Chain A
Amino acid sequence: AQSVSQHNHHVILSEAASLELGCNYSYGGTVNLFWYVQYPGQHLQLLLKYFSGDPLVKGIKGFEAEFIKSKFSFNLRKPSVQWSDTAEYFCAVNLNQAGTALIFGKGTTLSVSS
């Protein structure tokens, strides 16, 4: 069955620390990959996405992610987090075919202390 795994349930960092959140997927086929962010009390918003090309993609607010096909991974990184990055982060995957389901991981809660 298709699945998305996020390894970290809750990450606690101090401001200026570096961040890496893990995401692995289990899919048979070419995939599109996404990271979404959900700030407290808000809806999900897109951080970045990968469809093809350069496996290192840059998103908003200084986030980036690297697609490693051999590892079925799409880890999210940020060199220096800010207090305002406190949120829940979701990795999501769908097959690179029209009209397929968008499946999410369980999410990682990031708490950044100032």
Chain B
Amino acid sequence: DAGVIQSPRHEVTEMGQEVTLRCKPISGHNSLFWYRQTMMRGLELLIYFNNNVPIDDSGMPEDRFSAKMPNASFSTLKIQPSEPRDSAVYFCASRNRFNTEAFFGQGTRLTVV
């Protein structure tokens, strides 16, 4: 398996634009997590899904953020409109149903100017 795949790896956008981050979890994994990493806040859990269903989105900072998981092999995190304070590295991770370790993607470095 190629592991968790995120795209794009880098994104630079202007304030006010819509940004969509993508994640393909490891095949057979049924939990998917979206995290945001910044120097100030560390690694924050934004939202996670079990069996494609959002379980806890209390970490989503504002209504500008939304996430979907239309099927077991794909998830998106959307920011609309984007703001400079959204600049961060966004990680996606997946885990199998036995609750063992989560595997992380390479991350998307988002810069909003």
Contact = CB atoms under 8 A, between A and B. Distances in A.
A104 B48 CA distance: 14
Contacts of B105: 43
B45 A46 contact: no
Contacts of B30: 99
Q: How large is the interface on A (under 10, 10 to 19, 20 to 34, 35 or more residues)?
A: 20 to 34
Contacts of B51: 99
A55 B97 CA distance: 24
A100 B99 contact: yes
B99 A101 contact: no
Interface in A71-106: 90, 92, 94, 96-106
Judged by DSSP, the binding face of A is loop
Contacts of A43: 91, 104-107
Nearest to A49: B101
Given A43-B91, A103-B45, A104-B43, A98 B97 contact: yes
B50 interface: yes
Contact of A101 (B43, B56, B101): B56
Contacts of A98: 97-99
Given A36-B104, A101-B45, 7 more contacts: A32-B99, A34-B101, A43-B105, A44-B91, A51-B100, A102-B102, A104-B42
A101 B35 contact: no
Q: How large is the interface on B (under 10, 10 to 19, 20 to 34, 35 or more residues)?
A: 20 to 34
Contact of B55 (A34, A46, A101): A101
Interface of B: 30-31, 33, 35, 41-43, 45, 48, 50-51, 55-56, 91, 93, 95, 97-102, 104-107
A51 to B, nearest CB: 8
A45 B102 CA distance: 9
Contacts of B35: 104
A104 B33 CA distance: 12
Contacts of B99: 32, 94, 96-100
